[in-house]
Structure 1
Amino acid sequence: MAPPCGSGRRWSRAIKMTFYLFFLIPMSSARNRNTNTIFGKKQKLEVQQQLKRLNKPALKSIESPDGDIIDCVDIYKQPAFDHPLLKNHTIQMRPSSYPKGFSFDEINDVSSNSEPEFTQPWHLNGRCPEGTIPIRRTKEEDLLRAGSIANFGRKKYHTIPHAQSDLNPNVYEYATYSEVGDKYYGMTADINLWNPHTQEENEFSSSQFWLAKGEYGHDLDAIEAGGMVCETLYGDKKTRIFIYWTDDAYQRRGCYNLLCPGFVQLDKQIAMGAIVTPYSQYDGNQYALKFDVWKDVNAGGHWWLKINNRDFGYWPSSIFSLLSDSASRVRWGGAVVNYNSGGQHTTTQMGSGHFAEEGPGKASYFKNLNVYDGLQTRRAPRDPILFMTKPNCYNIKDYGGFFYYGGPGRNPNCP
């Protein structure tokens, strides 16, 4: 079974069969030194062909101290333009409109050469030149770890919590804060950055936002971003920055980061899928990532994303159906996958791994929460809905405009 966070794009039936043979039927041929997997020359060729499609030619490559390779790819040759609806897309270098509530400083205070206000390890060994964007290189072992090319970079299960009846409590667990009942043209949030423990390789922990319209099982468009630990996708237990989108309820279209065509990146400092530091410390220094997403209603209707006040890029309106207009709900909070290994609740942590009531410096937080409403005006959430699948495992507490959330998972009250 492919894990929820490790699975990419749509592949042909022939390629899927190739990977079925590759993973399930040993071949007496060359041995892959990195994975100790035996496979034939034809299958090896198929793997390399898919890596070539995923990894665009680099003008410069930077080896990160953490083992990642960051490729500096020509901004006009990034993966987005492999999308059939974006073949003739003209890059929009700056937003043409902002909702009411943006300040002059928010619009103009960041130059293309400014620092992103957090560190990614690859910065220690170099920077990408003007006219390029940094993309974390997909390696052969990434595909092997996912178990299937068909699943690489995609989610196996939906991750937008609705009602308890919609959820399998033995898979996804949440502690979230949301608003519904208006038309939404965006949202903001400062997300506290921690490095939560994950128990099993195929479990994950995320702190994120969701902006969505539609219903799972029918038609649903969604945009997500935040920080996550996902060993199956990335090969380690470090918190990494991510984005995600879908326009078909997480079925076949959409993916993490730039692992399929869709999102148009502009920023040359931030690499999606790369580690972000420093992490917050219990009873110590606290750090946060600031996200701002809004719909540019004047030019193309694209969904723009700012990260720490940098215009990072946008989801073109044309890749969506329902979100081509507006969203119908906004949600912030934490999500984990719990596979109940050994018949016990997972010890995978959410947020800091501490419950909401522990408060400042101990529990993880979201603050500076706003929505861009039907009047395209920035305002604080109204009548927020708090949602917890298992409050004894992970919980959330509203403090009026911000909230604390999280938990340790398995404990005496959450066996």
Structure 2
Amino acid sequence: MALPCGSEMRWLRVVKMTFCLFFIIPMSSVGNRNTNTIFSKKQKLEIQQQLKRLNKPALKSIESPDGDIIDCVDINKQPAFDHPLLKNHTIQMRPSSYPKGFSPDESNDVSSNSEPKFSQPWHLNGRCPEGTIPIRRTKEEDLLRAGSAANYGRKKHHFILSTDNAGIIHEHAVLVEDGDKYYGMLANMNVWNPKTMDSNEFSISQFWMTAGDSADFDTIEAGITVDDNLYGDYQTRLFTYWTDDGYKRTGCRNLDCPGFVQVNNQIATGATVTPYSSYGGDQRTLEFYVYKDIDGNGDWWLRIAERDFGYWPSSLFSLLSNSASSVQWGGEVTNIMLGDKHTTTQMGSGHFPEEGPGKASFFNTLNVIDGKTVQRPPWNSHTVITNPNCYNLIVNSEDFFYYGGPGRNPNCP
């Protein structure tokens, strides 16, 4: 009959202790391995469920030369309508009103087959038919890089903060317009392919329209980004974003969560934007125009490259349901301080604004739609520059500025 550990005579205790250590401790290790296996299966299931939710059935799929797969999804079955507030939503194919003095010409109608003002590589291999919208297919590796299916496409900070919840430093060079109510904005954004130092760092050029304060705010955003952690490469890609609770629980990039309603069948968010600007050579730009459909449902419409691309329904927001309290334009990078040194991740062209035309990145044609619903250049603007020795911004005129920089340099160690 086996004796309990520790009940033997002294000379047997060493033998029994060895028995206990040999059999009991390894069995505990086996239990840990089983737990890990169970956790992996659970994570795998979550990822598969998330992929099924994100990747709607496609009427046509297009393989892009850059490796993306673009699915042409029935416009009425897009992710937006998974949102509980949009279950019975009727798609608006165009706004019921436009800002004063603005009337889009017929060639830019969403039903037109004319070419957009910029190109994406997937266009080389096909187009999405009428009645569908192009959605970049999310892959399993995309969700794995995010750490969890729930984190995919989400932000963890507000642009005003210098450090996010993960302790990562965020650098900014931004022009801010505030002091009024705002019902829209216009920006022509210079397109570059900035280099990022680490896969966990990103570089963004974008606009923000916000309402609220640092404790509680709503925001709608769009622009271009290089983000290897999100997309798995170092290409410049188009993105949109929204949140109605300061990035806490709601909102995400592109169509990765329900909310934004897309109506255009030729432009895909999350997909690469080409060609890029070249140093001392051709300069490429991309126009973003946001306006509130005041005479309609109050939705926030987004035009990209002179096309009505889609809208954020007003019902998504509390603070932004009426108007924005500030508009921002500029660049943002993350800096994880590898080796306790500033990152070499570039902002904009990777060159300081002092270098000027053809070399420094820029925003031009800046306008806001103010509290009187008048479209005008920024009048009440100021800059937010976190570290001018690393990234800077110089206002050239009220509707034009240069910005950016190389990151680490002799003055930014």
TM-score computed with the length of structure 2 as normaliser = 0.88
Q: How many residues align?
A: 378
Query: Who is 2:147 aligned against?
Result: 147
Letter in 1 for 2:170: Y
**2:123 is the counterpart of 1:126:** no
Query: Who is 1:117 aligned against?
Result: 117
Query: Who is 1:413 aligned against?
Result: 411
1:333 is paired with a residue whose SS is: strand
CA distance in 1, matches of 2:50, 2:124: 30
2:37 is paired with a residue whose SS is: coil
Deviation at 1:167, TM superposition (A): 11
Q: Give ranges in structure 2 of 5+ residues lacking alignment.
A: 1-32
8 A contact 1:169–1:389 mirrored in 2 = no
Query: Who is 1:211 aligned against?
Result: 209
From 220, 224, 249, the equivalent of 2:221 is: 224
8 A contact 1:83–1:262 mirrored in 2 = yes
C-alpha offsets along residues 200-227 of structure 1, whole Å, 9 cap, x if unaligned? 111100000000001122x210000000
1:52 is paired with a residue whose SS is: helix
**2:319 is the counterpart of 1:309:** no
C-alpha offsets along residues 8-56 of structure 1, whole Å, 9 cap, x if unaligned? xxxxxxxxxxxxxxx996439xxxxxxxxx944x543332122101110
Query: Who is 1:70 aligned against?
Result: 70
8 A contact 2:43–2:148 mirrored in 1 = no
Matches within 5 A, 1:159-308: 159=159, 161=160, 171-217=169-215, 219-308=216-305
C-alpha offsets along residues 222-252 of structure 1, whole Å, 9 cap, x if unaligned? 0000000011110001100000000000001
CA distance in 1, matches of 2:51, 2:34: 20
Change in 2 beyond 3 A, CA 1:298/1:278? same
Q: Give ranges in structure 1 of 5+ residues lacking alignment.
A: 1-22, 29-37
CA distance in 2, matches of 1:109, 1:292: 17
Query: Larger Cα Rg: Structure 1 or Structure 2?
Result: 2
Letter in 2 for 1:132: T
Structure 1 runs of 4+ aligned residues shifted over 4 Å read: 23-26, 164-170
Query: Who is 1:55 aligned against?
Result: 55
CA distance in 2, matches of 1:169, 1:288: 33
From 37, 40, 46, the equivalent of 1:27 is: 37
RMSD over equivalenced CA pairs, Å = 2.0
C-alpha offsets along residues 246-300 of structure 1, whole Å, 9 cap, x if unaligned? 0000001000000000000000000000000000000000000100000001111
- Which is worse superposed, 187-196 or 166-175? 166-175
Q: Percent identity?
A: 67
Query: Who is 2:330 aligned against?
Result: 333
Deviation at 1:115, TM superposition (A): 1.2
TM-score computed with the length of structure 1 as normaliser = 0.88
C-alpha offsets along residues 305-342 of structure 1, whole Å, 9 cap, x if unaligned? 00111000000000000100000000000000011111
Deviation at 1:346, TM superposition (A): 0.2
**2:392 is the counterpart of 1:395:** yes
